[in-house]
Amino acid sequence: MADVNIEKAPSGQEGQGFFATTLDGAVGLARKNSLWPLPFATSCCGIEFMATMGSHYDLARFGAERVSFSPRQADLLMVMGTIAKKMAPIVKAVYEQMTEPRWVIAVGACASSGGIFDTYSVLQGIDRIIPVDVYVPGCPPRPEQIIEGILKIQHLASTESLRRRESEEYKTLLASYNINQ
């Protein structure tokens, strides 16, 4: 039990009285364990997120308990629920107001693909308007699945190069969504 919730250091060189690692590794460690989620919850999947934040599943164990409703103070957008086409510009505006580095999880079938609502009024997945890093399947997904999604984001955050957000590949990705950096 002693090692529970003890974060491992990134790989590096250590000796008596010193430990050296890369800047990417140190920053990745900090980012991984201080995600600030912005829950954009529109329907049933949002209820599962509430359970994920509760004491039983306790998202605080992953350093992500500081939920933000201000896009400028959040780095993880979690879209949970059906997104009507009328609401799509709002989701995009929230994403654009977030600072880099930012990550996105599409939680549940509706956010990922429109789900059962294959209709004229529902956006058929939020990746039509913003880039998505992780998709969590399910209708609704259980809290364990949402936590799995967070763990995948943590992996991305801890292994991402500090130069990625400045790369041509990333700029091209945003440009394909008509998003200015």
Among 63, 115, 125, 149, binds ligand SF4 (CB under 6 A): 115
Among 28, 71, 140, 149, binds ligand SF4 (CB under 6 A): 140
Question: Does 43 help bind ligand SF4 (rule: CB under 6 A)?
Answer: yes
Q: Under DSSP, is residue 33 helix (H, G, I), strand (E, B) or coil? A: coil
Question: Does 52 help bind ligand SF4 (rule: CB under 6 A)?
Answer: no
The one-letter amino acid code at 177 reads Y
Q: Under DSSP, is residue 106 helix (H, G, I), strand (E, B) or coil? A: strand
CA 83, CA 103: separation in Å to the nearest integer? Answer: 18
Query: What is the nearest approach in angstroms of ligand SF4 to the Cβ of residue 135?
Result: 11
- Looking at 12-20, 64-72, 105-113, 146-154, which segment touches ligand SF4 (CB under 6 A)? 105-113
Given the DSSP bridges, would you call strands 103-107 and 76-80 parallel, antiparallel or unpaired?
parallel
Question: Does 149 help bind ligand SF4 (rule: CB under 6 A)?
Answer: no
Among 44, 67, 88, 179, binds ligand SF4 (CB under 6 A): 44
Question: Does 109 help bind ligand SF4 (rule: CB under 6 A)?
Answer: yes
Which residues, in sequence order, are bridge partners of residue 77? 38, 104
Burial of 118 (0-12, 13-18, 19+ CB in 10 A): exposed
Which residues sit at the interface with ligand SF4, rule CB under 6 A? Answer: 43-45, 81-82, 108-110, 115, 139-140
